[in-house]
Structure 1
Amino acid sequence: MISTFPVVSGKYLIGGQWLQAEQTANVINPANHQEIVGEVALCSKADVDEAITTAVKAFETWSRTAVEDRANRMHLAAEEIKTLVEENVTLLVRENGKVLVEAKKDLLRCVDIMHHAADELLEWWQPRILPGNQKVQIRKRARGVTAVISPWNSPMILTFKRVIPAVLTGNTVVVKPATNCPLTIMSFLKVVASYFPDGVINVVTGSGGVIGNAICSDPRVKTIAFVGSTETGKEIMRAASGSVKKLYMELGGNDAAIILEDANLDEDAISRIRFGVLRAAGQVCSAIKRIYVHESRYEEVIAKLKKEFSRIRVGNGIQPDVEMGPLNNKAQYDYVNGLIERAQESGAAVITGGIQLDPDTWDQGYFILPTIITGAAQDSEIVRAEQFGPVIPVLSFSDTNEAVRLANDSEFGLRASVWTEDEDTAITLADQLEAGAVFHNNHTVFQDLHLDFPGLKESGLSRETRHCGLEYFADSYGLAN
């Protein structure tokens, strides 16, 4: 057991000072309930007020700095962050549950985000002249204090994809990491903040009901960037409704994968489907959460997924041979287990696979083996809910119109995928699917950091971007003669 806590343990950041909280809570290793990874500060409303006041003051000067200065500072911060990746990988695994390979990719992607966004800023910020008889320039300006409320499932990437463009566009930020795993993101932000004037980056932690509400209801906060559940997103919207704010929200998902009659289901394709379902133990907003298979291929898909899932090694992500770790917290663990139990009670069949690497200590972590659900109805809880765990319901359909109807039969609309050898058919279905992005013969993430396609319906509130998210955090205005 590693007993040394990170230097940010139990602290919060305001105006360049890391302050020790009077009240803290333990951060637990989800693979071992007995291991305390560190402490998280339980900040008060007064702490939030101080953080916002400090951010407002810092904005007065930071918003006027040259974009070249902002970009240069970010590049320098990224280079130091890169040197800290190896020593922080195990911390992320211990507080989040990700396996080592996934954790390292997350940390390296944070470095990429910093460099990419800083490079993009220099061109994107330049004024744009509109054609016409009157000279009209479209110019950019910073908006003010930005609140970044990040989740526990992918705390690094999803925080950096918001904090970095917010700071680069001249805003100051108040960050609220998830209390279940705040330590790695705070350790990284400690370094990033040191490259910017005091008060540009502030961090408060604690109860969402207390400090989250205080942040979102404060009229001095001009932008809220949130990643999390749709229900929490609605609560944030209500709290923010007292003043007009810009909201950038990536919310829940119940992604459908449609496997057509002509789909290539070789080992590589099944591996991609498995990854789409089980990446980060299924705790990904854009993971496959429903599979619709043409009736002629249904039994084949079940057999191949069962075989694929049976090979997955599940255990503590710190072990190099582990392919899937635990769920992050007890609430999510209980929720997913409850979904599986209620599905079985309703008459659905539960197929469990996978390998317990450490069966003697299995009950010390929030482990759930990969699970396939068959025989569930379209209107059942297991199909309609965002499971957010390593469980996947598989249903059949008879024609493509039915498949599209079933896939669209959800309040969510984050991602979808179509599995077919006919690209024209994939495009035709993609045009009909109510999702922010559709993949063909894959279900993954966009590798290009410039791209981001938020969800439709109750899966998001924003717009597509090819500028590293910079436009979410700056206002455009016209200057005319």
Structure 2
Amino acid sequence: MTVETKQDTYLNYIHGQWVASSSGDIEASINPANTTDVIGYVQLSTEEELNDAVSAARRAQSPWKKLAGNARGAYLYKAADELEKRLEEIATCMTREMGKTLPESKGEVARGVAILRYYAGEGMRKVGDVIPSTDSQALMFTDRVPLGVVGVITPWNFPVAIPIWKMAPALIYGNTVVIKPAIETAVTCAKVIECFQAAGLPEGVINMVTGDGAVIGEALTNHPEVNGITFTGSNPVGKAIGQKALARGAKYQLEMGGKNPVIVAADADLELAVEGTISGAFRSTGQKCTATSRVIVEDDIYETFKAKLLEKTKAITVGNGLKDGNWMGPCASEKQLNAVLQYIEKGKAEGAKILTGGHVLQGEDYDKGYFIAPTIFDHVTSDMTIAQEEIFGPVIALIRVDHIEEALEVANDVPYGLSASIFTTQIQNMLSFIQDMEAGLVRINAESAGVELQAPFGGMKASSSHSREQGEAAKEFFTTIKTVFVK
């Protein structure tokens, strides 16, 4: 790799100060659309920095939880204002660091602003209930109290929205935070932390330590003074985190993979179904846990739908996300590109047929990045690897079925259950889908990807630890109930 210019070095944020790692080691954050572009350098921290951050969070937690909810909310409102002021800058950094297009990045930062304001308002909402007592001379009620120190481990695909939708509820309910962001997008996370700093949060309330997951993530999970762990990422890592947290009695929340289906019924609005499928499958280069991965189509309209899908897919413009007119960016890293290519080879080896894509893009606009063409497989059966395992890239597996009942069977025939959608105009199809689909998020006549911030989000089966993020549901994880009896 040839590096043209050295940019800023970003530090850890501990107890209100920006500090370097004791290791002295740093790692370059590289633009996946142009590997000669270095966004910045981030710390490869040691367990020493993680321990310092947890200690700072522990000391800050008691005075933070004693603040009135509206006072904590005021800090989140200020952080939202700071993030909004820097929307263009942070969105541009995100596109350079992760690869998604600038319009998508701007939308994500705007969502971060909205999440902060939503949870700021939670500081003025009820946290308990009055319960009738059998003693007429007593008052009995519930209160919600914070866990204490919460460890936050986040992925690279949503480097603003996911950290904020974990940190904001943690903070408003009185917890303090130590976040370990994905190393691939740690610069973007650092800029988010700068917004909290500018909002004036007390020292130690929020801390960030960057580094290798096997070092920092492991130490955060195992730390005896971390009371809860909230994680978004891969299933193997998530399961390991859950087992370790359980072993020491810490609360844990895991949001992991998906193999999300779209069912296209014979009565569907095909134009709407095609648009929803393409958006769900190829936005963010398919690097969403809710991305459409399997498209299950009734036989009567299979060929017509396939032709329309191919036409629209071939019209997708791929390139650097900072350039106007590019609809899809690169894979986020060389590692991710290679993983997608390996799945494509497995698909071909198992008998699926590529209708379009399936190759690395070449030419002046692509040779310095990790670009792959949007890919559609035909002749896919449910037992194939590409129909069972999460690919996390711009790859669609088309599956032909005879009727809706078979479509639902195929849709549920995976270990995951995060999101799913159906395109249909028949009420009975909608009701059957809502009732029988084994997924935490089901959408009718809309793409599989996306959930509104005020609604609970999480999956079934191997997709999550069965807890829910976002909306009012977040308080279930970030607090515990205390029952109070007053005589």
Does the 8 Å contact 1:213/1:239 carry over to 2? no
In the alignment, what sits opposite 2:240? 235
1:460, distance to aligned residue in structure 2 (A): 0.7
Q: What's the secondary structure of 1:403's corresponding residue?
A: helix
Partner residue of 1:56?
Answer: 58
Q: 1:289 to 1:356 in 2, by over 3 A?
A: closer
Superposition deviation, residue 238 in structure 1: 2.6
2:20 paired residue number: 20
Between the aligned partners of 2:369 and 2:142, the Cα distance in structure 1 is 54
2:344–2:358 CA contact under 8 A, matched in 1 = no
SS of aligned partner of 1:361: coil
Matched, 1:432 2:436: yes
Per-residue CA deviations over 1:140-164 (Å, capped at 9, x if unaligned) read 1111100000001111101100011
Q: Which stretch shifts more, 221-230 or 81-90?
A: 81-90
SS class of match (2:453) = coil
Structure 1 gaps of 5+ residues are: none
Distance in 2 (CA, whole Å) between partners of 1:278 and 1:95 is: 18
Which residue matches 1:460? Answer: 464
Give the corresponding residue for 2:85. Answer: 83
Letter in 1 for 2:232: V
Distance 1:444 1:119 in 2: 29
Q: CA deviation at 1:15?
A: 0.5
Deviation at 1:2, TM superposition (A): 9.0
- AA of the residue aligned to 1:111: V
Q: Is 1:340 the counterpart of 2:341 in the alignment?
A: no
1:393 equivalenced with 2:397 (yes/no) = yes
Matched, 1:130 2:131: yes
Correspondence for 1:189: 193
Contact 1:315/1:358, CA 8 A, preserved across alignment: no
Out of 146, 149, 152, the residue aligned to residue 153 of structure 2 is 149
Is the CA contact (8 Å cut-off) linking 2:13 and 2:207 kept in structure 1?
Answer: yes
Q: In the alignment, is the contact (CA less than 8 A) between 1:193 and 1:200 conserved in 2?
A: no
**How far did residue 110 of structure 1 move?**
0.7
Question: Which AA in structure 1 matches 2:346?
Answer: R
| Cα deviation digits, residues 31-54 of structure 1 (max 9, x gap) | 011221111210101111111111
Q: Secondary structure at the match of 1:73?
A: helix
- List gaps (5 residues or longer) in structure 2: none
Alignment of 1:320-399 (within 5 A): 320-353=324-357, 359-399=363-403
1:293 aligns with 2:297: yes
Q: TM-score, normalised by structure 2?
A: 0.94
- For the residues of structure 2 that align with 1:93 and 1:85, how far apart are their CA atoms? 12
Deviations 1:140-190 (A, max 9, x none): 111110000000111110110001110111111000010011111211112
RMSD over aligned CA atoms reads 2.0
Q: Deviations over 1:65-99 (max 9, x none)?
A: 11111011111221122111112221111000010
1:36 matched residue in structure 2: 38
- Are 2:276 and 1:272 equivalent residues in the alignment? yes
One-letter code aligned to 1:44: T
Correspondent of 1:263 among 254, 268, 292:
268
Q: Distance in 2 between matches of 1:372 and 1:338?
A: 15
Instruction: State the distance in 1 between where 2:326 and 2:361 align.
Output: 8
SS in 2 for 1:296: helix
Deviation digits for residues 86-143 of structure 1 (CA, Å, limit 9, x no counterpart): 1222111100001010000011111111111111231133x32124545321111111
Paired with 2:466 and 2:172, the residues of 1 have a C-alpha distance of 19
Amino acid of the residue matched to residue 222 of structure 2? S
Equivalent residue in structure 2 for 1:70, among 47, 69, 72: 72
Q: How does 1:294-313 map to 2 (within 5 A)?
A: 294-313=298-317
* 2:409 aligned counterpart, secondary structure: helix
